[in-house]
Structure 1
Amino acid sequence: MSVSGMRLTGGYGAPALGLVASATLLAWLLPREGFVADKLVVALVALGCVWLLWSRTQRTNRTLARFVAALRHRDLAQSFRTHGQGAALDELGAALDDALKHLRDERLASLAENRFAAALVDEAPTPLLAIDAQGKVSLANKAARRLFHGSDGRGAADFAIYGEDFAAALAEMAPGMRRSSRVLWNGLAQRAVLAASLVDRLGQPWRVVAVHIIQGELDAAELATQSDLVRVLTHEIMNSLTPVTSLATSAARLVARADAGDASAIASARLAIDTLSKRAAGLSNFVESYRAFSHSPAVSLQRFAVGPWIGELLRSFAAMPQGAGVRVTLSLQPEALELVADPHLLGQVVLNLLKNAGEAARDHAEAPGVAIRIVPGEAGRVHLTVADNGPGVPHALREDIFLPFFTSKQHGTGVGLSFARQIVLLHKGVIGLCADEGEGGRFEVVI
């Protein structure tokens, strides 16, 4: 039975019928003389029926008022079911309970869907920032909280610590816009793409800015392109160089066999061919070293103690020409720090950085020094910094130093830093130059 179609039976029917009957009988008795006692009884019966109707109407009103209050306060645990109160009241209570059960089921389904959506947002790998109409920024998921430390409610200008351009983008980006920017992460400038969208939250417009860190993908794509280029070039060069080297070596042997020492022309030819043979062999070795760059080494991850590992690397550096006379300081915190990486490949990265730092310091400072610092970072990562008191890297070269074959040294090969970046990327880490020109060199690796 619906509330609107309630039948006048049971709880309301008997009093209503009694009232109609008693009122009819009373109307018939009143014009007649006598029947005083009868009139009084019938009147009392009519009043009794009125009282029953009024009390049950009040009970219904209280039930409906309690139902409305339960809806207003979102208290869906109330129960309105009754027994023995009359068919109308019992059916009303059952109908209200069914309505609350339907609302409870809808609420549970909505909560489950909201929890699912919230979990998707919170676990999304892309940092999400929610910005209200007043420009206050909320960190909308775990990725954002890892990248941007602090609390909600900061203004866009407060994000200038992650880059002036990034803070300006947060303040200026309209919904639907995409913009490239740089974000300072772990002290290193990372290229990122920002995308803004508009959402409605409790009737208020909010901008949601997704921060896509693409530095790793760009570096990986760049390395892949460079490796492909090197592979093609070295293949073509070796195809042409191999017969030249072979012929030069054979010619050197033949001329040496024919040279008796009494023909100056043959002696000159022998000297020229010997030089050609040596230069061809040197060029062949040179190309082979670049060919190795185009093949990514296999990474074998393992957990190891940093202290003994870095101690061995520093002893190796001290025995190298670049480390002679260079004062090395080590800061390792905590001393029991452990790292998950390939100790051999990462060791080559550190040795390359130490050699570069030692050369820069020896050529510039009266008391050359190199400082290495290893400390834990966010999300289980480790920061490894190698700094020197050399002249630093000129601004004009900062974007080129990690390119393969680029070098500012007279006898450099340009492979060291390119190889270092390749190894760090294989570890899902980042490497960058942190110091400005004139402050010495300071390279930071985050693994």
Structure 2
Amino acid sequence: MLPTQDEPRRQVMMIDSKSFYASCESIARGLNPLQAMLVVISQAENTNGGLVLASSPKAKQELGITNVMRKRDIPKDDRLIMVEPRMNYYIAMNKKVNDIFREFVAEEDLQLYSIDESLLDVTSSFEYLKSIYGHDLTMPKLARIIQLEVKQKLGLYLTVGIGDNPTMAKLALDLEAKHNHSLIGEWHYETVPQKLWPINELSKVWSIGKRTAKTLNRMGIVTMGDLARANPYQLQEKLGVRGSDLFALAWGVDRSIVSEHYRPQETNISNSQVLPRDYGNELEIKNVIREIGEQVASRLRKQHKATQVVSLSVGAALTEENKGFSAQVKIEPTNQSKLIVQALWSLFDQHYEGQMIRHIGVSVGKLSEDVGSQLDLFVPADQDAKQQTIDATIDDIRKKYGLDAIVKSSSKIAGGTMLDRVGLVGGHNGGNAYG
């Protein structure tokens, strides 16, 4: 008898759109996503000639193409179609997929996990669905109905993990469904010992990274069964709260409910950027810092927030021994672009040691409601008000006409990257929202 026999059970699905980006591009070209030889490859400058974002199942199987493979390493094949990403198109397709899911669950029982994965808790709607699809309806049958609905309407293939809770559904998706001909996997507390515990590549299990896997291995834990049989107090002593979470994972325990999923309040706002080349000129580096700082300040104003802590992280090029720095400074509460950029430049001047730079990140924290800037005794009140008006005017113009509607001249010279990034979504080409 398992100690989990009294754990609450729900009817949960984790659904993944198979090879989503590549499938969307295949469908747009009238091709079968499972038969097409296609890769989606980013041509952004910072990918050094191109980087694979997604590949069709056939391209993976026959040519061994994997995500993040460099363009130069892709095998030559006349059948292979290479396309640039169109993030707006994928977002539009994702919305269509989830609109179909909404036919089976209420809005509160649907959680968008990522652009290609969604959680559905059908516990509340299952009896209603039985009245539509028959009283012999089971979770695997329902999964098949959803698969066919999306295939017929959109052309996409879905992989479905079924479980007694969200974690178990995710494990069923990753560890079983993706390898089944039906693309459906079903796990319950009773099947965890036979399906989860034999796994000895811990890093392949959702939420266990390579570093955590190595730590567990050093503790003598080499299989998920070992983890389930480990002393939970020793795990917590060694790994903190993470140890308790891992012990629960090994037993498939997850008491969260999709309709009650927690949306953490944003405690900081950040932007970061991998530069298109190595930067060694201080003027160019500070120009990019200004651009990112102004973007973060604009986001603060949009949320009616002010910041009291400004952070700058600078990552060096691979050829540098000095790998860069991270630093922060407290300031008076503000969301003015000029003041935030001045704080960032001050941090840069204090810590930069002349190395070539490839990554810049800006973060603001200790956020509070924007109730107006505290006056600086050394800055005239009318000058402070003028700066706030300038920021608000720039925000309004860019909101109405686009980010490139008003651009500082320095963004056109001295290493500026803002213009090159206009239209990017998630760092990639936004493209067209339609096929």
> How would you bin the TM-score normalised by the shorter chain?
under 0.3
Q: Specify the structure having the higher radius of gyration (Cα).
A: 1
If the length of structure 2 is used for normalisation, what is the TM-score? 0.22
If the length of structure 1 is used for normalisation, what is the TM-score? 0.21
